[in-house]
A and B are shown apart, each in its own frame.
Chain A
């Protein structure tokens, strides 16, 4: 007897590999993390985990370090996203022009994005090294500073350095998204605006920016989620220090889970992060009016 599959069965069959992968690597870990958030769990004693209800959450909310990390996570995310967006849009507009030689830069664009974070972070540690780093060396030679700055050893400077690293690495992502959108805007729109008497600034505000709105909403949501959750850049560059001054929630969760062996608390921190991002994203997308289509005639 020959097998005959209906279209529906074939469809399910094609989706199966993805569904299995997603279940194994996304759904199960997340579910497990949520479960763990309600347990006390020491990875060195895996067998005596027990239900503690909301204890983990209470503990976190009572922990001043959590609030400090939360505040720092907002600073870290806010400035990173602000600079990435502004720089990304600006550079995309520059790359969109027909200046000679600009194609080379378009090609180089992905470079920071594809280099592994470890390599970048270690490099940046050298670059920002207060004694032998190139930044201090250059600034001294230029006479901008008169003595070495401890970039990674003072709290504000460490945070600023981490933000600079994040901006350097991920601005290309913003540029690529914005550039792709810019290339779909018909040049006749700008011609029409010129005939209507609009100058360069008006054309940017009235035509370019509104047309970039949807892509910017998406880019900002994704970049916010990724940056808020970011662990390795901060950890590799500053280890959360000096002190705890560059802790964000991801570093906080890591320290709780790995250093203090409180995996339940780490999992609860993760759950709090998910909730924060989910609520933030929904509010933001609603307010920005993304995807609101008007009915055609």
Chain B
């Protein structure tokens, strides 16, 4: 079942948290709401769940408008950030609670709980209370609670954020697998771009109550729609620098730190303003030999080893530094002269006035 939001707004008092969102979550897809803390992700999820009322706008599950329905009537399942397991009930009762509330008789309930517990490999924990479980086990119980009910929509609010790094990596795969088995529409909230990029069919990047871009992970990474998305997605973050558009023999060129670089062919600069913001990912910057044509010279300002890669920050003009992510074998002396180079095809260009990416040629 797909989920459709139309002009959905929510405010708490005078604090406008969600600003007229239009968004469709396609049936059986795994969609992630990604954005910094406080951007309204949880609020949006709670609206879909029916735990909050929208200030304005409409929510549809399939063709059915659900705004007036209670959470219990929407046939959703939700995994909370804190898991929200019922502390006074044992694991079996936690998983079976939704069934019990719906009046499923005990034998049937016990059987369903057993099936779920076997799938999640927590059958040996059924008699335990939540406080006697580890973080990963609690997580599975929370999933089991969702799974037992066969929901139409599966909502998750940062379900991995309380786990340690290693467990988080394993659980990412399990969650995705779980989504495929459940054959539901999943909506997943996170502030972690790695989770969003690895698990999602579609990513909605949110900031300040507005969806900044809604696309596949590849699209969001390769063609960020605006400066916010470009800066938020990718680690280390994209380099930004102000450039000016000039015309040399009719063909447009960019002036960066006193150098001239050819304008990237993928952008249509016809209607572009004179000043632009250029973006280039550290992964797309390489260290060049000094004196190499088209390379931009500077001095090494800082280096950092991050495992198999090394980050080299080169100052190419006062206060303007470009970070390159290169193989760790490549070394650089602090304050030594160096040069960076990049492929024009990898450049991103933004209008500093609107923050939007320049239109790309078809």
Contacts and interface: CB of A to CB of B under 8 A. Distances in A.
A186 interface: yes
B72 interface: yes
Contact of A211 (B50, B76, B88): B88
Given A296-B131, A297-B132, A196 B82 contact: no
Interface residues of A, number: 22
A211 to B, nearest CB: 6
Contacts of A191: 46, 49, 51, 71, 78, 80, 84
B188 interface: no
A80 B165 CA distance: 55
Contacts of B88: 207, 210-211, 213
Contacts of B82: 186, 188
Contact of A198 (B51, B72, B78): B72
Interface string B70-111: 111100111011101111110000000110011000000000
Contacts of B98: 195-197
Contact of A194 (B72, B77, B137): B72
A161 B102 CA distance: 46
B281 interface: no
A11 B112 CA distance: 57
Contacts of A296: 131-132
Contacts of B133: 297
Interface residues of B, number: 33
B354 interface: no
A198 B86 CA distance: 13
B348 interface: no
B84 A186 contact: yes
B129 interface: yes
A202 interface: yes
Nearest to B88: A210
A189 B129 contact: no
A197 B97 CA distance: 9
Given A294-B129, A296-B132, A297-B133, A195 B101 contact: no
Interface of B: 46, 49-51, 70-73, 76-78, 80-82, 84-89, 97-98, 101-102, 128-129, 131-134, 137, 145, 149
27 contacts: A186-B84, A189-B84, A189-B87, A191-B51, A191-B78, A191-B84, A192-B86, A194-B70, A194-B71, A195-B51, A195-B71, A195-B72, A196-B97, A196-B101, A196-B145, A196-B149, A197-B98, A197-B101, A197-B102, A198-B72, A198-B101, A206-B86, A294-B129, A295-B132, A296-B132, A297-B133, A297-B137
A-B complex: 8 closest residue pairs judged by Cβ atoms:
A197-B72, A210-B88, A196-B98, A188-B84, A192-B84, A194-B71, A197-B101, A296-B132
